[in-house]
A and B are shown apart, each in its own frame.
Chain A
């Protein structure tokens, strides 16, 4: 009996030792990494991240600090980043966070404040004011910086130039609508052109735009129209929502959006950014509204068969959903790592590096001088509309509770678009729900 008892105890002790025992190789790892400084950047999985990794290698050769850009799938990016922030130390040194995260990052002490340091390494006047306001400062326009612009982006229009220039299509359009087939400047024109090209039997469709319910697709797709139609998410000064969101302008915008959902490929009422892109690159859709960062790939595939433009307007109002992300230094890393991270940011913001950045796939800058330069505007077919879109871009909420506001927006706007609830009723409920969240968070 005793021997059994001893055997069990010995096995248990062995198990415990195996669980708690240090691997000599692991314990040696920090020493190895301490010899070569490095920084880790987290971004989601897309072309610009690959471009940034290439720039990182140039930074390493200049400074000796290695850069690793880890690409996380977009669908789980937000959760992964904020779960990291939930710990005492993040595994990334720099996070390239969505513009909407900045309020949360700044007010919860997750991002290092860069207000005093940033002007010492870059002339802030070189950063486009809209990029500064929405990507870098919190509160918006306060002059308190928590990020440096990395990827500046906005929604634009890509269209099949070859279809628009086809004489048969042009004369058919002229005969049907009594005007020339041109790149749509207004949403009415956009709908007309989409209606014209909508031919499901021939597997040809009018238009597609982000409408996915999983993260922020639908919100980003709808808000281009929302602002253009005179709607708004909130009162800018007071943050009040009731009486500002549930207005006729917003109802009109969503109702118009619903009509566009009938002029796209099957299932176009829930396309994520990649699927919108795919609907265009598979050659079936005449026009898409999507982020400029996707357009270089389209250009590479279609050459001069495609054209690019700013988003349409309505009654003279043109607003593009802001995309893009800023570089923020994690507050949950040691000071020496923060210094390495800041060194990378300072290096990245130099004009010579920004000029390299715009040569990378889908690398778009916030540098005002570069955006305004004739060389930049003429370099690609999408650069000029991109530069014009930066002047027209606006962002969704970026307060700390943005994720809750986004979730309810996606849900109620989704219900309105799907016809599960009348639009006006959905907006009233959404407004009340948003005010409840804002009150809970002390923002109202």
Chain B
């Protein structure tokens, strides 16, 4: 019996051990290292570090750049997720029914999501270019005075948002479609027998029953939008006051300025924010799911 238990424990370690080792090497150790670095004046090019206490954290909370990047990132997350959710859900409702050519439409709509954000950033750089971009060429041909999408301070942030919406609306659509398809047809049939209006069906059946899945989609997209990096780098670079997000600020501080200690403090604060946000979302999803189970 003892020997069997011993063997079982050995097997458990053998199975879990490699994963645990990788987790420690690639997650736990860098995290601890980052926290330690955040209390030092470490520089990218090496040299002796010394402790600076909480000075880096004081800088983070005093820094106008951080406040600006935080505001901009929050605005980006809210706008991007809201627009993508609305458009994605609307598209899913449209595509829920069967029609001729549905697969072709679905596949075409999914293409932007499958492309690399960095490549898409470069591609949209060409599309929205003020001189030779196809959008401005078209607007000029129609007699409009075309705006400078990527250089005008009033437009560049919204241009990046537009590209993000173009890329990720299909993702929202896909998840929403899965949610809609999981609603049993019998519920709709019962509603039909009860002569429920289309609006009632939508607000009492479709929306509440797809809410948990939509919540999950919002969680995925919000955490993804929160670390928006590739598009900003490709379109305006990391040091543009009008478009700098938390991730690009972090890149600027660590890789351009070489301030590893300060960058580590920035990243710790961002990590806390992300964990807080993720906790709110997961609690919401848990609540919705437990409500469903009890119902």
What is A's interface to B at a CB cutoff of 8 Å?
A: 1-2, 4-5, 8-9, 12, 15, 78-79, 82-83, 85-86, 104, 108, 110, 212-214, 265-267, 269-270, 403-404, 407, 410-411, 414-415, 418-420
Contacts and interface: CB of A to CB of B under 8 A. Distances in A.
Given A265-B131, A404-B257, A2 B241 contact: no
A269 B129 CA distance: 13
Interface residues of B, number: 35
Given A85-B45, A213-B236, A266-B130, 13 more contacts: A1-B4, A4-B11, A5-B10, A79-B256, A212-B237, A267-B131, A267-B150, A270-B150, A403-B257, A404-B258, A407-B252, A407-B256, A418-B153
Interface string B3-25: 01001101100110110000000
**Top 9 A-B residue pairs of the complex, sorted by shortest distance between their CB atoms:** A266-B130, A267-B130, A214-B237, A267-B151, A418-B153, A8-B14, A404-B257, A266-B131, A85-B45
Nearest to A437: B257
B148 A266 contact: yes
A174 to B, nearest CB: 30
Contacts of B258: 82, 403-404
A179 to B, nearest CB: 31
Contacts of B184: none
A404 B259 contact: yes
A15 B151 CA distance: 51
A407 B136 contact: no
Contacts, number: 86
B143 interface: no
A108 B241 contact: no
Contact of B239 (A15, A410, A420): A410
Nearest to A429: B64
A218 B173 CA distance: 42
A357 to B, nearest CB: 30
A220 to B, nearest CB: 15
Nearest to A9: B14
Contacts of B93: none
B280 interface: no
A86 B44 contact: yes
Contact of B255 (A5, A79, A85): A79
B47 interface: yes
B230 interface: no
B83 interface: no
A270 B148 CA distance: 11
B256 A78 contact: yes
Contacts of A15: 18
Interface of B is mostly: loop
Contact of B256 (A4, A86, A403): A403
Nearest to B147: A266
Contacts of A411: 239, 241
B46 interface: yes
B246 to A, nearest CB: 16
B252 A420 contact: no
Interface in B154-175: none
Contacts of B242: 418, 420
A270 B159 CA distance: 16
Contacts of A265: 130-131
A390 B87 CA distance: 58
Interface string B246-262: 00000010011111000
Contact of A213 (B17, B136, B240): B240
B103 to A, nearest CB: 40
Contacts of B255: 79, 83
Contacts of A414: 239-241
B44 A83 contact: yes
B294 to A, nearest CB: 41
A430 to B, nearest CB: 12
